[in-house]
Amino acid sequence: DQQVKQNSPSLSVQEGRISILNCDYTNSMFDYFLWYKKYPAEGPTFLISISSIKDKNEDGRFTVFLNKSAKHLSLHIVPSQPGDSAVYFCAASALQGAQKLVFGQGTRLTINP
Amino acid sequence: SAVISQKPSRDICQRGTSLTIQCQVDSQVTMMFWYRQQPGQSLTLIATANQGSEATYESGFVIDKFPISRPNLTFSTLTVSNMSPEDSSIYLCSVRTGAHSGNTIYFGEGSWLTVV
């Protein structure tokens, strides 16, 4: 039972353009969402989060959008830079639970010069 | 944020042996978590380590295989017991900062274990 899904295992974007990473979830109890960036053999690095009371959160080049009715969120990176090449994980948690995170499978983003 | 240090960062282990991974945080935290990422897979929660009480294990993980200690609010250990090649993974310690739910969960650098 995959409660958090990232249906695109990989994405290739040209430098300077917008990268859009998508994530879907099935558990309606989830109300806090996070995006992490991960390089091989390293721990995930927190990027940005959003709670269910918002539909958008922005931090520099990163913006996360949440569509609760569709149970869908997306991460926009603009402009994309070569250093953004990594695996991006979407994660979800329920505030009333133990705040443990449920992760998607990840999307490998490659930024081409 | 929190600075989380893990030891060892990488190790090659013999089948049947056990290895203990240490996690040190630079501030006191209530909740610490241990995750695993097997090759090509996503991150999976092993257990929640709470100071002063037994760890809470997720489905598919048991205390005999993954004993956890949490002696204080800044330190935890995870032991991978009687290792087999299927235990080859990155093991990640993470903490939740802040007293209120919804605060961010941060991760250590991970401990990459290869079982031969």
A58-92 confidence digits (pLDDT tens): 999 999 999 999 999 999 999 999 999 999 999 99
Confidence of residue A55 (pLDDT cuts 50, 70, 90): very high
pLDDT computed for residue A95 by the predictor: 67
Any chain B CB within 8 A of the CB of A69?
no
Phi-psi region of A30 (alpha: psi -120 to 50; beta: other; left: phi over 0): beta
Contacts of A32 in chain B (CB under 8 A): 101-102
Q: In this structure, are residues A28 and A97 in contact, taking their beta carbons and an 8 Å threshold? A: no
CB pairs under 8 A between A and B: 64
Query: Rounded to a whole number, what is the distance in Å from the CA of A42 to chain B's nearest CA?
Result: 5
Mean residue pLDDT across chain A: 92
- Alpha helix (H) ranges present in chain B? none
- Residue B22: phi, psi to the nearest 5? -105, 145
Q: In 3-state terms, what secondary structure has residue B85?
A: helix
Amino acid type, B61: F
CB-CB contact of B28 with B73 (8 Å) = yes
Q: Which pLDDT value is given to residue B103?
A: 64
AA identity, residue A27:
N
Residue A31, SS3? coil
Substitution target in B3, B23, B35, B43 with the highest count of A β-carbons within 10 Å is: B43
- Give the integer Cα–Cα distance in Å for B45 and B102: 17
Mean per-residue pLDDT for A37-62? 91
What pLDDT band is residue A8 in, cutting at 50, 70 and 90?
very high
**How far from the centroid of its chain's Cα atoms is residue B56's Cα?**
12
Q: B116 by DSSP, 3-state: which?
A: coil
pLDDT, tens only, B61-87: 999 999 999 999 999 999 999 999 999
Estimate to the nearest angstrom the gap between the alpha carbon of B99 and the chain centroid.
21
Flag whether pLDDT at A41 surpasses 80: no
For the residues B42-59, what does the mean pLDDT come to?
Answer: 90
Residue A97 has pLDDT above 70, yes or no: no
Alpha-carbon gap: B1 to the closest alpha carbon of chain A (Å) = 10
| Residue A24 banded pLDDT, cuts 50, 70, 90 | very high
B76 closest CA partner among B84, B86, B66: B66
Average pLDDT, whole number, for chain B?
Answer: 91
Which secondary structure element, helix H or strand E, spans residue B93, and what is its range? strand B89-96
Output the six-digit token pair for A63. 């913006």
Pair A8, A22: CB distance under 8 Å:
yes
Nearest to A43 among B10, B58, B110 (CB): B110
Per-residue pLDDT at B101 exceeds 50 = no
Query: In terms of DSSP bridges, do strands B111-115 and B10-13 run parallel, antiparallel, or are they unpaired?
Result: parallel
Residues 33-52 of chain A with CB under 8 A from chain B are 34, 36, 41-46, 49, 51
User: Are residues A43 and B104, on separate chains, in Cβ contact within 8 Å?
Assistant: no
Provide φ and ψ at B50, rounded to 5°: -110, 135
pLDDT of residue A11: 97
CA angle A109, B43, A107 (to 5 degrees): 15
Residues of chain B with a CB closer than 8 angstroms to some CB in chain A: 1, 4, 6, 10, 31, 33, 41-45, 48, 56, 58, 90, 92, 94, 96, 101-110, 112
User: Nearest Cβ partner of B108 from A43, A89, A95?
Assistant: A43
The predicted structure's pLDDT at residue B102: 52
pLDDT score, position B29: 87
